[in-house]
Amino acid sequence: MNSIDRLNKLRDAVPSNIKIVAVSKTKPAASIELLYSKSGQRIFGENKVQELEAKHEILPTDIEWHFIGHLQTNKIKYIAPFVSLIQSVDSFRLLREINKEALKQNRIIPCLLQFYIASEEAKYGFSLEEAFLMLDNNLFHELSNISIKGVMGMATYTNDKQQIRTEFKTLLGYFELIKSRYFAQENDFCEISMGMTDDYLIAIEEGSTIVRIGSGIFGER
């Protein structure tokens, strides 16, 4: 099967109200262009600033680029002019810097708060306590050029489906708690980005609104 067939199959398996981010990291621009022109795919995800910048420069301007990797503050400026959603906001400091760069671009940058839900050392993200500290801080409410659309998380890389399910349930719980405490009046706080190639079906069962699929579309990296 090629990437077009894999994407079509995936669309059959994913309810139409759930957004599919085609994670194109490490894949050439031509592979993105193919899905863009032949499958009408518009949302692509990248995890490296330089790679995203280079692809953005040569690909159609109506692609919605989602940034899904760890973002260093000194690199925000390169994607601030065009990024559609930064899914991987993992600190208050980063969010304040995104706000600064968004202000310079005279735009509001949509963001998700990334939560740490896995039992692995390496994964980035807020704990619930850290998120509360930020959301309770008056300075947070002065950030006029970012818009928090929801949460994102990655489950542990494991074959234990029950563990993965438990971690997604945790993320859904965080979403609901934060929504009721801080965003109850904001319909825009509605996204739960969870689920990748190996676990997206579980994620959808647990309430995902955005799945991020790389190898399941483009093939192995």
Contacts with ligand PLP, residue ranges (CB under 6 A) = 23, 25, 47, 68-69, 154, 196-198, 212-216
**Is the CB of 110 or the CB of 216 nearer to ligand PLP?**
216
**Is the CB of 143 or the CB of 154 nearer to ligand PLP?**
154
Q: How far apart are CA 89 and CA 146, in angstroms?
A: 11
Nearest distance from C-beta of residue 187 to ligand PLP, angstroms: 25
**Is the CB of 47 or the CB of 208 nearer to ligand PLP?**
47
Nearest distance from C-beta of residue 63 to ligand PLP, angstroms: 17
Q: Do residues 128 and 177 make contact, with C-beta atoms less than 8 angstroms apart? A: yes
Nearest distance from C-beta of residue 9 to ligand PLP, angstroms: 14
Taking residue 180's Cβ as centre, other Cβ atoms within 10 Å add up to 9
Nearest distance from C-beta of residue 68 to ligand PLP, angstroms: 4
CA 152 to chain centre: 6
Beta bridge partners of 206: none
**Is the CB of 118 or the CB of 143 nearer to ligand PLP?**
118
Q: How far apart are CA 194 and CA 196, in angstroms?
A: 7
What residues contact residue 191 under an 8 Å CB cut-off, 6+ apart? 112, 149, 150, 151, 209, 210
